[in-house]
């Protein structure tokens, strides 16, 4: 754990100067202040009194960091985390970033000030190097969303293979012209799933039409936006593969409003197997992720780290395809 002396050395100033910056003293040059703040961030130094008092103690609290809790998929993962945490006598603090950098920084500060013992991260909203630095300093496990550098152990499915299997399933049902409703550019899982989509088409000698790829996100409204853009093209594809059930449901709703029937006129496939995918009409054919187990295993890995076990390898859990009424 970094000390105020470490910060002073890194910034090339005295300990007294660091103290003045921390206490927002007025007689500090702006360039000096910037150097000290950069050193504090790099070294993950916390001047917080609670952090100093708890430095050698357990709080028995862990942080769960995600973008939103409104998505049914994440709520099931969180339930798995909470159940395992209770078994290990930990309390769970859930923080949502909502895509806001300040919210992210405020949550990370809970780690840096030792308000929590460790974190399970379910979002990907910071640069790779910054995340890797954080993982070197604190016990962290990733759930669901992978990171390229493998800075922390991750629990989730093989996104590439899951997408490959889904597209091949559609091809075996006679679909060759398949539109893709994927997540945002910052999502590595979306990137892997797109690779799986491309590889499945390539395996079957089907040309990839870039005009059929839509990066609208994972929400219900993303499905609506995707259909509005898709309908501007000359002809409909035979199927739509969406990277979230909520997106697939939004697509089905908009298609119905336009007088296009699913699956008679076009097939729609989702991803995640959330509860609503089975309830809507038509019910959504989807890729099932073991949501609860992902949460349970992520907490199990984090607990191991907190108990002094060296970082364990990532865990890849199986996915499965569930055929319902939206594909024929």
CATH superfamily of 4-45: lambda repressor-like DNA-binding domains (1.10.260.40)
Domain boundaries, given as residue ranges, for the chain: 4-45, 58-156+291-319, 159-288
The string of pLDDT tens digits covering residues 132-173 is 888 888 999 999 888 777 788 999 999 999 999 999 999 999
Q: In CATH terms, are 58-156+291-319 and 159-288 the same topology? A: yes
CATH of domain 159-288: 3.40.50.2300
The string of pLDDT tens digits covering residues 277-306 is 999 999 999 999 999 999 999 999 999 999
What's the CATH number of domain 58-156+291-319, 3.40.50.300, 3.40.50.720, 3.90.1150.10, 3.40.50.2300?
A: 3.40.50.2300
* Preceding omega of 282 cis (within 30 degrees of 0): yes
The pLDDT, as a whole number, for residue 56 is 46
Query: 47 falls in which pLDDT band (50, 70, 90)?
Result: low
Query: 54 falls in which pLDDT band (50, 70, 90)?
Result: very low
Distance CA 157, CA 152 (A): 16
Check pLDDT > 70 for residue 213. Answer: yes
Higher pLDDT, 57 or 324: 324
Check pLDDT > 90 for residue 308. Answer: no
Mean pLDDT within 89-104: 91
Higher pLDDT, 104 or 164: 164
Beta-strand relationship, 285-288 and 320-322: antiparallel
Check pLDDT > 70 for residue 48. Answer: no
Using CA atoms, how far residue 159 sits from 72, 107, 192, 197, 327, in Å, is 19, 27, 6, 10, 21
Name, in order, each residue with C-beta under 8 angstroms of 248's C-beta and a sequence gap of 6 or more.
Answer: 181, 223, 240, 242, 268, 269, 270, 271, 277, 284, 286, 326
8 A C-beta contact, residue 152 and residue 142: yes
């Amino acid at each position: 754990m970094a000390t105020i002396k470490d910060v002073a050395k890194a910034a090339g100033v005295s300990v007294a100067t660091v103290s003045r910056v921390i206490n927002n003293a007025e007689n500090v040059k702006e360039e000096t202040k910037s150097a000290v703040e950069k050193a504090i961030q790099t070294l993950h130094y916390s001047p917080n009194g609670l952090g100093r008092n708890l430095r050698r103690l357990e709080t028995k609290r862990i942080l769960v960091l995600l973008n939103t809790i409104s998505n049914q998929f994440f709520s099931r993962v969180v339930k798995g985390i909470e159940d395992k945490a209770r078994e290990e006598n930990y309390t769970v603090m859930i923080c949502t970033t909502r895509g806001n950098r300040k919210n992210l920084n405020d949550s990370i500060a809970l780690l840096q000030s030792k308000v929590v013992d460790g974190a399970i991260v379910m979002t990907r909203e910071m640069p790779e190097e910054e995340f890797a630095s954080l993982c070197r300093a604190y016990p962290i496990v990733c759930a669901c969303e992978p990171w390229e550098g493998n800075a922390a152990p991750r629990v989730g499915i093989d996104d590439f293979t899951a997408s490959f299997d889904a597209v091949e399933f559609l091809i075996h049902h006679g679909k060759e012209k398949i539109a893709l409703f994927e997540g945002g550019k910052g999502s590595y899982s979306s990137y892997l799933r797109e690779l799986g989509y491309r590889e499945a088409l390539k395996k079957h000698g089907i040309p990839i039409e870039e005009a059929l790829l839509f990066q609208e996100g994972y929400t219900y409204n993303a499905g609506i936006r995707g259909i509005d853009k898709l309908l501007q093209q000359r002809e409909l594809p035979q199927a739509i593969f969406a990277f979230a059930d909520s997106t697939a449901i939004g697509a089905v709703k908009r298609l119905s409003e336009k007088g296009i029937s699913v699956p008679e006129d076009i097939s729609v496939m989702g991803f995640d197997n959330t509860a609503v995918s089975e309830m809507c009409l038509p019910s959504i054919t989807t890729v099932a992720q073991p949501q609860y187990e992902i949460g349970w295993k992520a907490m199990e890995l984090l607990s191991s780290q907190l108990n002094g076990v060296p970082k364990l390898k990532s865990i890849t859990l199986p996915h499965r395809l569930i055929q319902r009424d939206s594909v024929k």
